[in-house]
Amino acid sequence: MLTLKRYKTLFFAVFLAGMLLFATPTLALIVHVPGTEFSQLWILGSSRTTGDYPFNVTAGENYTVFVGVANHVGSLSYYLVELKFRNETDPLPDTTLGTPCPLPSLYNQSVILQDGGSWEKQFTLSFSNVSSSANECVVGTLNVNGVTCVVNKPATWDPSHRGYYYQLLFELWMYNADTFQFNDRYCTVWLNMTFSSIS
């Protein structure tokens, strides 16, 4: 049988647990738990799925990807999406050190998003001035949404995968303290340029 003192203690514990349970949504608006604020970057194929990325590409053909950004940082944010074009030996970003790929950006897209907001854009890509000699393929130009970028990017023959491989690299940058800083987010799409080089 409960004594009056134990009954008061039990009643107080149940009351306190109930108050915390009802106050949790309000506390979430005030207290931000570390590690819950983040940004997202994604690439989808031409039908907005992950199953139809371009892979075997040829010069003169158009290819489509959709690039998206979502803001979950708790405030209005200003982003920059940078497109870079790399071969198998060019470095990727280092998210451990927080450093971007050192290659130049070929195409930039700025995006301003409210907290909880998202954005998505179609990128139409084509390649021209593609040539090959011996064991090397060179992509001369990359056209992105009507903007022609001179890349002159070589790739050597990959004998294990039997192809000349390139990668579209999208990096996410975020405006902070009067400058854009790499946000440790990037996505890539592999491309096989072998057919263009032998046609």
How far is residue 199's CA from residue 197's CA, in Å, rounded to a whole number? 6
Question: Rounded to an integer, what distance in angstroms lies between the CA atom of residue 118 and that of residue 120?
Answer: 7
Alpha helices by DSSP H, listed for 31-70, are none
Tokens of 2: 């409960």
Q: CB-based contacts of 96: which residues, under 8 Å, 6+ apart? A: none
pTM over 0.85: no
Stronger pLDDT, 128 or 16, i.e. the higher one: 128
Q: Look at residue 196 in the predicted model and tell me its pLDDT.
A: 58
Q: Which CATH architecture has domain 38-198?
A: Sandwich (2.60)
Predicted local distance difference test score (pLDDT) of residue 157: 94
Higher pLDDT, 79 or 30: 79
Q: Which two tokens stand for residue 120?
A: 């998505």
Amino acid 134: pLDDT? 83
Domain extents in the chain: 1-31, 38-198
Residue 65 CB burial class (10 angstroms; 0-12, 13-18, ≥19): buried
pLDDT at 31: 41
Helix, strand or coil for residue 115? coil
Backbone φ/ψ region at 91: left (φ over 0), alpha (ψ -120 to 50), beta: beta
Average pLDDT taken over every residue of the chain: 87
Give the residue with greater pLDDT, 14 vs 135: 135
Dump pLDDT digits (tens) for 147-194.
Answer: 999 999 999 999 998 999 999 999 999 999 899 999 999 999 999 998
pLDDT band at 19 (very low <50, low <70, confident <90, very high): low
CA pair distance 30, 82, nearest whole angstrom: 34
DSSP 92: P
Query: Is 90 exceeded by the pLDDT of residue 95?
Result: no
- Tell me what pLDDT residue 198 has: 47
The percent helix, strand, coil of the chain (3-state, each to 5) is: 15, 50, 35
The backbone torsions φ and ψ at residue 80, rounded to the nearest 5 degrees and listed phi first, read -135, 125
Tens of pLDDT, residues 60-70: 999 999 999 99
Q: For position 5, what pLDDT does the model report?
A: 66
CA dist 9 and 124 (Å) reads 67
Q: DSSP letter at 109?
A: E
pLDDT tens for each residue of 110-140: 999 999 999 999 999 999 999 988 899 999 9
